[in-house]
Amino acid sequence: MNNREALQQLLCRMRGKIDPVELGWPIRTGRGRRSKGLSQAQVAQALYVSERTYADLERGVMAEPTSEFLDKVAKLLRMEEHERTALYVYALGYEPPFPMDPMAGTNVAPAWQEAVIGVSGHPCYINDVAWNVLAGNDEFVQMFPQDPGKPGRLPESNLIRWMLLAEDAREHHLVDWETHWAEPVAAQLRTAVAAHPDNKDLQQLDKEVNDDPVVGPIYRNHNTAYVHPDGDTRRMRHAGFVPPPGAVDRRDRCCGRHAPSQLGSVTMNAGQPLGSPGARFFLLLFKPSV
């Protein structure tokens, strides 16, 4: 099957699911068309285009349909995210740059949360499009400096806020913070704010980071373009690292306030839950310095 056939079948199937009465057309009586769903003419009318224009799309002969037009079609035909992605791929040859749902990436299915919590052996977590931690296993939580009064909890539920604004991160646990952490993380935040202008959490982070006297100038410097850290390796201190049996204990204190921690490097392996575009799954590989 080629893309034209796939596109035609997708659109015909989606049209067939919608009763014209739901969109304001009267119930059909008497003679005439009896097939289920919307006709091409009804779709064209609802889109405020000619019947030929919509027919060209459905037949796969429209030269370069715009993303705006495809999104109108997807919305009218009540496509879910994966169906809209297929529409783009069949019509344009690539996936849509942004999800259709403005709330996409703000949550994940409960099965993802269960899976993350159940991972052992490596720190593992999942965050939403604004870097709010949705789930993390015990090894992930233990990487952070622990509050003696609240052990076993993250010091901050939003990773961007902790990495860019927390003193523990900037001065103690993220090594070479300004160049290896702040610059790429700030660039990530700029990109996310541009991609999701209606996300209130990102807008709040944008304001907090921009107003901060330490990281603000870094944030406003657009020399670095950065989207994701997949495969990156950066130096840090692991607050919960425990040497394996028989290994030399090389943990030391970064300062008098923190408990001993292990200096080393972390490699970030990132993926995306397909049902929640914008959310990220991370598996972290920590290697202690020798």
Extents of the domains making up the chain? 3-92, 110-288
The more confident residue out of 148 and 80 is: 80
Residue 216 class from Cβ within 10 Å (0-12 exposed, 13-18 middle, 19+ buried)? middle
Q: Over the stretch 91-128, which tens digit does the pLDDT of each residue have? A: 999 888 777 776 677 788 889 989 999 999 999 999 99
Residue 231 class from Cβ within 10 Å (0-12 exposed, 13-18 middle, 19+ buried)? exposed
Question: Which residues are CB-contacts of 164 (< 8 A; sequence separation ≥ 6)?
Answer: 170, 182, 185, 186, 189, 209, 212, 215, 219
pLDDT at 46 over 60: yes
* R_g of the chain computed on alpha carbons: 25
Closest CA to 127 of 280, 233, 230, 11: 280
- pLDDT-derived band at 82, boundaries 50, 70, 90: confident
CA 168-174-179 angle, to 5 degrees, is 125
Same fold: 3-92 with 110-288: no
Alpha-helix residue ranges (DSSP H) falling in the chain? 3-16, 40-47, 51-58, 67-76, 81-92, 110-118, 138-141, 159-165, 167, 183-195, 200-211, 216-219
Q: Over the stretch 151-200, which tens digit does the pLDDT of each residue have? A: 778 999 999 999 999 999 999 999 999 999 999 999 999 988 888 888 89
Distance, CA of 260 to CA of 235 (rounded, Å): 16
Q: What is the DSSP string of 194-209?
A: HH-TT-HHHHHHHHHH
- pLDDT-derived band at 32, boundaries 50, 70, 90: low
Q: Which residues are bridge partners to 281 per DSSP?
A: 126, 271
pLDDT at 242 over 70: yes
pLDDT at 35 over 80: no
- Residue pair 199/207 in contact (Cβ under 8 Å)? The answer is no
The architecture in CATH of the region 3-92 reads Orthogonal Bundle (1.10)
- pLDDT-derived band at 33, boundaries 50, 70, 90: low
The more confident residue out of 63 and 121 is: 121
So what's the pLDDT on residue 128? Answer: 93
Distance, CA of 119 to CA of 124 (rounded, Å): 7
- pLDDT-derived band at 28, boundaries 50, 70, 90: low
- Indicate the SS3 state at residue 154: coil
Q: Which residues are bridge partners to 124 per DSSP?
A: 283
Hey, what CATH class is 110-288 in?
Answer: alpha beta
